Amino acid sequence: MSIIGVGIDVAEIDRFEAALKRTPGLAERLFLQSELLLPTGERRGSASLAARFAAKEALAKALGAPAGLLWTDAEVFVEDSGRPRLRVTGTVAAKAAELGVRSWHVSLSHDAGVASAVVVAEG
């Protein structure tokens, strides 16, 4: 296996939350319902959503930031163990396949008002 790409991104949580409030429908353009909602059906908090957005940005960077990727073709989810993971479909899966990506590694964090994510694409 070899590293095909690495991406990192940060998002100011308050700024991200303000953008979601200011722009109707933005959350639905960025996230799948499974990302927006907790298993209880409640809406996920701003810090968690900002970290997921940072992961999607980092994923795009790991792929070389190609045009035409759809935000909802990348899903950030957490395994029962607590480990964050990526599931890709559509435009993201096609670009990943073209580059030879076989697996993803993702790390999420949020502290001191900033959410961050690192994504490694492995082939």
AA identity, residue 105: H
Residue 9 among known ligand-binding residues: yes
Helix (H, G, I), strand (E, B) or coil at 98: helix
Report the distance separating Cα 81 and Cα 123, nearest Å.
24
Q: How many CB atoms lie within 10 A of CB 1?
A: 7
DSSP per-residue codes, 12-23: EHHHHHHHHHHS
Which residues carry a binding-site annotation for Mg(2+)? Answer: 9, 57
Which residues carry a binding-site annotation? Answer: 9, 57
